[in-house]
Amino acid sequence: MITGLDHVVVLTGDITAASAAYETLFARAPGWRNRGDGADRVLFTLDNTTLELLAPHGDDAAAQRVRSALATQGEGLASLCFRTSDIAKTHRRLERLTLKPEPVAEVESRDDASGAVLSWKRTRAATDATRGIRMFFLEREQERPLSVRTTTAAITAMDHVVVSTADPERAAALYGARLGLDMALDRSHPDWGRLMFFRCGDLIVEVTHRPGKEKNKAETDARDRLRGLCWRVADIEATHARLAAAGVDVSEIRTGRKPGTRVMTVRNGTSGVPTLLVQPSAGKGE
């Protein structure tokens, strides 16, 4: 049903500042800009997925919905959009699995600079059925234009998106059994809790459960949350030097949890999204 993670949406109150910050982080120019339907959108398309910056524009109902979401959650990760090869089949499956999808809609977007047009078909699952994570599903035949690299040591692709949960069993059932993602890892540790990896195309949906007191019903019924993003780099030392020179607050490079990896944290310039950069091991694979 799902072939990959098409894009993630990041809410921001200042599209100009957010776009400039991500251009610095990625060392890539935006691949798409669109103003319309109550929102400003700037898209950065990397090798395996897209990051969409979304800000309210105007005073119509659509703009008010974006403002309401921004007021409720603040800047940061807002939703996941999975790609599928057959939206009608996906819609039927979502219905059978009581994920309560909206009717399939046909959507079109025009790039403000080039005038190019992209179209796709989309549905959305009910948020209360996906444990509080906003999830969209879309089918499109056209590929988005890649974001052009502006300098060396650019970000290459997304490595994983992190979801935190209070109920790992229900989360495992959602991402594995219901959405059909392949579970690549399920590991527990007394210091950092339970960690599950679900393959999604060329990246991972990482579901985490932190250790705590014995669960009660209120805790297990709590909504899951989008916690952060991890991006791949080819040369972490070069990327560290580039970002530090640009004034981005980055941590020291350290050894990653996965053998053979090196990571660093980006502390600002991400519109409130906790962000990690990773240089994968030579034999990348989960």
pLDDT in tens, the chain (286 residues): 899 999 999 999 999 999 999 999 999 999 999 998 899 999 999 999 999 999 999 888 889 999 999 999 999 999 999 999 999 999 999 999 999 999 999 999 999 999 999 999 999 999 999 999 999 999 998 999 999 999 999 999 999 999 999 999 999 999 999 999 999 999 998 877 899 999 999 999 999 998 764 455 545 568 999 999 999 999 999 999 999 999 999 999 999 988 899 999 999 999 999 999 999 987 544 3
Q: How far apart are CA 200 and CA 181, in angstroms?
A: 6
> What is the domain class of 155-279 according to CATH?
alpha beta
Q: DSSP assignment, residue 258?
A: S
> Does residue 273 sit in helix, strand or coil?
coil
List of residues 6+ apart from 65 with CB closer than 8 A: 38
pTM (predicted TM-score):
0.94
CB 252 within 8 A of CB 182: no
Report pLDDT for 257: 83
Domain 155-279 in the same topology as domain 2-139: yes
Report pLDDT for 189: 84
> Does residue 113 sit in helix, strand or coil?
coil
In the chain, domain spans? 2-139, 155-279
Report pLDDT for 214: 42
Q: How far apart are CA 160 and CA 163, in angstroms?
A: 10
Q: How far apart are CA 135 and CA 226, in angstroms?
A: 11
Report pLDDT for 285: 41
Angle at 82 between CA 77 and CA 83, to 5 degrees: 140
CATH number for the domain whose boundaries are 2-139: 3.10.180.10
In the block, which residue shows the tokens 């059925």? 129
